[in-house]
Amino acid sequence: MFADRLIAATDIFGPLCVGIDPHAGRIPAIFGGDTPEGVEKWGLALVEALAGQVGVIKPQVAFFERHGWQGMRALHNVAAAAREAGLLILMDAKRGDIGSTAQGYAEAWLGESAPFAADALTVNPYMGVDTLEPHVRLAEQNGKGVIVLARTSNPGSADFQARSLEGAPLYERVVEALAPMIERLKGACGFSGLMLVAGATGPEEARRLRTLAPDSLFLVPGYGAQGAGAEEAVAGFARKDNCLTGGVVSASRSVIFPEGSGDAETVDAWQQIIVRAVKLAREDLISATGCTHKLRVT
């Protein structure tokens, strides 16, 4: 089950999940700049640097998609290299649609022969629980995960997610409705591969989500460049064996575009800068969880 694989990865490397986000204009010249070829070379070098440092990555599909079919080919190749390196892939595509359209999206990312194979996929539940069913069904069949947007980290998330619905915020009602799906994707570790997005910028809300969904894994954006610290990022994790566990914390710009990386003159020098930034973030998050005694990464 996906949940078991993710918990095994965090037991080794801690909860850091690195976002593979090739922002426009940020790809260094040593890779060829902001072109499909440059994005692919950059992504492959990044995967090589991350192997053995983290267990989970999260490619942002939009930054590949903007380059057309060449960009999607780059995404395919970067993801293939990540799988070969033993990294779990959380594909950030935020799909959400109805009926056969949802089925098509699910097959593209979570199917047995998916062209953009991922270990888990982000989905938007705000068209209704029925839009999630094709994703959850394929996740059950293929040992994959589904990551549902519950309480996101963007400033405008409160416009709708925090609106009251029968005495509780909408995002809480969404999570309550997910209970049967959470049970369907539960692994031997006790956590479910039905993950919830719980932004680090709302730690109290993350704690509330943990109360509502004690068995869900969490994907936590908002750490690092978006302003949240490590303790805020792990606020919604579950306490087990004297430490906090039950999810991953995503960091992108702070670890893939650290200071000085754009000036590196060789790929090796660039990778060394990336590894240093990743180690700092990883150690910061491990310290916040109190799980130092469990981890095996050095």
Q: Amino acid identity of 12?
A: I
Distance separating alpha carbons of residues 170 and 153, to the nearest angstrom: 15
Q: Which tokens go with 178? A: 């997910």
User: Which of 56, 67, 141 lies closest to 92, judged by CA?
Assistant: 56
Say how far apart CA 235 and CA 191 lie, in whole Å. 17
94 is catalytic: yes
Beta partners for residue 194, in sequence order: 146
Active-site option among 41, 58, 94, 240: 94
User: Cα dist. 16→29, 74, 103, 165, 233 in Å?
Assistant: 27, 24, 30, 34, 10
Q: Which residues are catalytic?
A: 94
